[in-house]
Amino acid sequence: MADNLETFLDTLNPPQKEAVLHTKGALMIIAGAGSGKTRVLTYRIAHLLNEPTEPFRILALTFTNKAAGEMRKRIQDLAGKQAKYIWMGTFHSVFSRILRQEGHRLGFTKDFTIYDTEDSKNLIKTIIKERKLDEKIYTIGAVYGRISTMKNQLISYKSYLQESTYLQEDEYNKRPEFKTIYQIYQTRCFRANAMDFDDLLFMTNILMRDHEEVREKYQNLFQYILIDEFQDTNFAQYNLVRTLAQKHRNICVVGDDAQSIYAFRGADIKNILNFEKDYPELKVVRLEQNYRSTQSIVQAANSVIAHNRNQLEKKVWTSNEDGALIKLVRNVTDTEEGRMVADTIYFSKMNNGKRNSDFAVLYRTNAQSRKIEDALREKNIKYRLISGLSFYQRKEIKDLVAYLRLVINSNDEEAFKRVINFPKRGIGDATVEKIFETAQTQRIKLWEVVRNIAQHATGRSISTIHAFGEMIENFKTLLETQDAYFVARTVANTCGIIDDLKKDDNKIEGISRLENIQELLNGIKEFVDNPENEDKSLSAFLQQISLLTTADESDNNEDNDKVTLITIHGSKGLEFPNVFIVGIEEGLFPSSMMSERTQDIEEERRLFYVAITRAEESLVLSYARQRYYYGNIKDCEPSRFLSEINPTFLTMVGGKLNTVKSNNSNNPLEHEKTSGYSFVKQFRPANPNTANTQYNHTPSANFRPSDFRDMKVGMRVEHQKFGFGEITQIQAEETKVIVDFDNRGKTTLVMTFAKLMIIEKV
């Protein structure tokens, strides 16, 4: 094994090798994007086993079972079967294992149940009902989220009751009974011999805190501790590993503060930023060489993340080729944006031999996928959604579509079964079965039974079923006089789906589902507004999307040659040859919910950094000037993040997207006359190193960016960062401006993002 490992060590660069061989004491490996951190972790553990170290004395913590499994397999290839005895897995799996062995000290048996999210929410719902609390105020999502937050911060219900700040906050939010719900929830879990997901961390912390013999046992056991993706740890996780590492202090954390994007899940970036405070003897190794991406992509990402104040020092670089400039595409509408993506992929496949699997489309919210999906379907390009279902297969979409189908065809049995008790109306499964049984035995239609329910059934549910039938009949009357959008909007607002989703509007999941419902309505509005659609009825729209979903369902699941559609959060840890990042607009990215606090903006910027660094060979950034929002066309502004990219690495693409009429083999992004795109070549300074120079100009007190349309050659201007200069040239349809700055020289800026203030006109 030693010879084999030595051979592999020779493949590492100097910082990687240093991180592998430095085994004593605290070590922080700052691993930039694409720097080979998984290889370093794997070799480091293999090296520990080779020293030799007993495998059960190594604790390696990850955030996904997949990551743990892949790492263990690699270690086994290097070190043999002993790799299976390493304590390796996710935080929750490892600490669940400890609780199985030691949980009896807390009053749990080794067979305790682990409640999943649905179990927890059902219990919370029961408690709220038993306490006769207003479910519109004490929404299940809000209560569940707050309990989770408290546990991740190691605040028990007993501590909560003693903290006036929390109690005052509950009074302000009109939820003074939260403390009682929290207490009852924990008591009921304990009585049921159950822990929820957060308890696996919370209870292990309690175990280590209150039972010295257990704490010392595991402190002695774990001689070496390694944590992957350390920037994603929360307080409960970090407190545990810090406790376990107290004796040997051989703790190795690997992470990148620039990729900390999970604050909404409780991740605390301060864990990595302040790690040295707990370990003053800390050795830091920086993995700064990016093996993944081109020079243009790496430098563009660096220029963006440089705007964050709270970050660890590092200089990510690559020896890869310069590569193509990053394309920044301005689209008139989000529909045009989707077509641009599909056209680019189509022409790259036809002319450059690319495969579908060479492409990925990244977006901020799941709802954005619909336009991309529709455009790819038009081009007959196969795709797959990661960390999410196809748009029309998502539960909330299928629920609303089922209502619409029932309005069109009231005897649609599958649609009826889906919505008769959703949102819940107190109609049980037995009653639904009775309706179907009656229709079959009496050989009458399903809807006839519903409309005459009093003749066919008895019991308390009769009035509810009758009311449901009346509601659907009222929707039917709209079909004769109203278009598809009016009917669909009325159904959505009346049937109860939107109200049901709003109960969780303070949860990420609830907000996302509401956005998906709105995106469906946007699609119906566009269908109605499209002059090419002569039939604007709801029936015509449903026929259209049913063909799309049918084609999607018949796709060969064994075919992996598909374009990847994925949220940026979901893309972390992945890489793709060619990447599109779409919807880079203010209010969308950064999200309007993340625009008030500096730390939120910095997290959104880190999210943008993660998105950029997923690309290996080419990157297209895209925004739309108009986007459908709540059934109306909304004017959009390009994201502030676009102005933070060094323009040296950008080329601007703008103008109206037209259908390609020529049969030549040109990419629509390369020649404006072929497709209607306006293509502008990028000006590169003679010395590209000047792109990284930092300037400390302090803007004037009255600094306000001027309208770029007012700018002319010869004007004296001020830039927030580069200082004062003179406009020497305005290029190509006023999309770029060259300014000769006093302390920087000639610099090319994208006109719409330049944020220049005119101080002297010509």
Residue numbers annotated as active site: 37-38, 228-229, 259, 614
How far apart are the C-alpha atoms of 80 and 697, rounded to whole Å?
A: 58
Determine contact, residues 524/543, Cβ cutoff 8 Å: no
- Give me the helices (H) in 245-306, please: 270-273, 275-278, 295-305
3-state secondary structure of 711: coil
Element of type H or E holding 67? helix 65-79
Q: Is 429 buried (19+), middle (13-18) or exposed (0-12) by CB count in 10 A?
A: exposed
Element of type H or E holding 201? helix 199-210
Determine contact, residues 606/260, Cβ cutoff 8 Å: yes
DSSP state for residue 59 in the 8-state scheme: E
State phi, psi for 719 to the nearest 5 degrees. Answer: -115, 145
How far apart are the C-alpha atoms of 627 and 583, rounded to whole Å?
A: 9
Determine contact, residues 318/294, Cβ cutoff 8 Å: yes
Going by their DSSP bridges, the two strands 383-385 and 756-760 should be labelled as: unpaired
State phi, psi for 627 to the nearest 5 degrees. Answer: -145, 140
Cis peptide before 590 (omega within 30 of 0): yes
How far apart are the C-alpha atoms of 621 and 612, rounded to whole Å?
A: 9
Amino acid identity, position 204:
T
State phi, psi for 447 to the nearest 5 degrees. Answer: -70, -25
How far apart are the C-alpha atoms of 495 and 396, rounded to whole Å?
A: 13
How far apart are the C-alpha atoms of 632 and 726, rounded to whole Å?
A: 41
Q: Any residues with CB less than 8 A from the CB of 214 and at least 6 apart, and which?
A: 102, 105, 207, 208
User: Please, what is the Cα angle at 73 between 70 and 78, to 5 degrees?
Assistant: 130
Determine contact, residues 256/31, Cβ cutoff 8 Å: yes
How far apart are the C-alpha atoms of 26 and 272, rounded to whole Å?
A: 13
Amino acid identity, position 525:
K
Calculate helix-pair angle for 2-9, 37-50, nearest 10 degrees. Answer: 150
State phi, psi for 411 to the nearest 5 degrees. Answer: -100, 15
In the block, tokens 């469906």 appear at 520
Cis peptide before 52 (omega within 30 of 0): yes
Determine contact, residues 497/400, Cβ cutoff 8 Å: yes
Question: Encoding tokens for residue 208?
Answer: 């280590």
Determine contact, residues 395/443, Cβ cutoff 8 Å: no
Amino acid identity, position 77:
D
